[in-house]
């Protein structure tokens, strides 16, 4: 088991205006799973993904990642765990504007005190068709290209878990298909656990398991 939640809750607001973004979610994710999370806008998909990546604190229940109950970890331990075990692909890229493409990609590896595998990174850049942008700043790139940098960054240290929020959202059909193929390849080849939030039925249909979120509950 890579991730396990027990009655996981995330509530916002107070009694008069309570939003149950996640309500008693029980979910088990095994090593090597390839999961799509689908659901309407506002159903709680991103909140769930953030919880699974220990980016946010639950208001109730528990979550165990890699055998460790994260509610018992302090912020420093959480950061360390995320850096070594989890790759994130966010909807809004979260690239550092003053760093070029290569520097953005290797930053998490360097922060983790490791050496980047440049050959592997070149392979990823090639597959994502951004090799020619290796020394460019994010601001000189299109949204789709920036998203591919974020994808390369998430994959560069072959993390055990990859969490992606709408990874194909800003890409045309061909490039979106390329990214899905890459996620499937990494899942198969390296047994990485991959969880993808998506609106796209075509993307969801290529995952091995699909989880539907309805009003903060998992079905
Ligand atoms: N910081 C916050 N404060 C208050 N309510 C929040 C906050 N973040 C999320 N919510 C609420 O929690 C619910 C779930 O939001 P979430 O972003 O997880 O949905 P989603 O399924 O990812 O939506 P989308 O597909 O539009 O990205 C929504 O009702 C949202 O308004």
pLDDT of residue 13: 94
Name the pTM for this structure.
0.90
pLDDT of residue 178: 84
Distance 219 CA to ligand 1 centre (A): 18
Take atom 16 of ligand 1 and give the residue whose Cα is closest.
44
pLDDT of residue 84: 86
Mind spelling out the 3-state secondary structure of 73-136? CCHHHHHHHHHHHEEEECCCCCCCCCCCHHHHHHHHHHHCCCCCCHHHHHHHHHHCCCHHHCCC
Domain ranges of the chain: 3-218
pLDDT band of residue 219 (cuts 50, 70, 90) is confident
Distance 173 CA to ligand 1 centre (A): 27
CATH architecture under which domain 3-218 falls: 3-Layer(aba) Sandwich (3.40)
User: What percentage of the chain has pLDDT greater than the value 70?
Assistant: 100
Q: Which atom of ligand 1 is nearest to the CA of 39?
A: 21
Distance 126 CA to ligand 1 centre (A): 35
Give, for ligand 1, the residue of 17, 23, 43 to mutate: max count of ligand atoms closer than 8 Å to Cβ. 43
ipTM of predicted assembly, 2 dp = 0.96
User: What percentage of the chain has pLDDT greater than the value 90?
Assistant: 74
Distance 106 CA to ligand 1 centre (A): 31
Average pLDDT over residues 171-178: 86
Ligand 1 binding pocket, CB closer than 6 Å: 12, 19, 21, 39, 41-47
pLDDT band of residue 15 (cuts 50, 70, 90) is confident
Distance 20 CA to ligand 1 centre (A): 9
pLDDT of residue 140: 96
Average pLDDT over residues 126-147: 93
pLDDT of residue 25: 98
pLDDT band of residue 90 (cuts 50, 70, 90) is confident
pLDDT digits (tens, 9 = 90+) for 32-65: 999 999 999 999 999 999 999 999 889 999 999 9
């Amino acid at each position: 088991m890579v991730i396990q939640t027990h009655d996981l809750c995330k509530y916002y607001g107070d009694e008069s205006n309570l939003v149950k973004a996640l309500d008693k979610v029980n979910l088990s994710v095994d090593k090597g799973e390839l999961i799509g999370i689908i659901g309407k806008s506002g159903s709680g998909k991103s909140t769930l993904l953030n919880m699974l990546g220990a980016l946010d604190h639950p208001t109730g229940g528990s979550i165990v990642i890699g055998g460790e109950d994260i509610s018992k970890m302090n912020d420093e331990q959480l950061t360390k765990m995320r850096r070594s075990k989890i790759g994130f692909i966010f909807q809004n890229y979260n690239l550092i504007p003053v760093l070029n493409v290569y520097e953005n990609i290797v930053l998490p590896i360097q922060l983790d005190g490791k050496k980047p595998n440049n050959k592997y990174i070149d392979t990823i850049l090639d597959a994502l068709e951004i090799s020619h942008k290796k020394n460019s700043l994010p601001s000189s790139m299109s949204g789709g290209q920036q998203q591919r940098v974020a994808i390369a960054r998430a994959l560069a240290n072959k993390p055990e878990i990859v969490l992606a929020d709408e990874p194909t959202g800003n890409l045309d059909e061909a490039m979106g298909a390329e990214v899905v193929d890459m996620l499937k390849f990494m899942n198969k080849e390296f047994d990485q656990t991959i969880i993808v939030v998506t609106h796209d039925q075509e993307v969801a249909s290529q995952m091995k398991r699909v989880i539907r979120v309805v009003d903060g509950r998992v079905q």
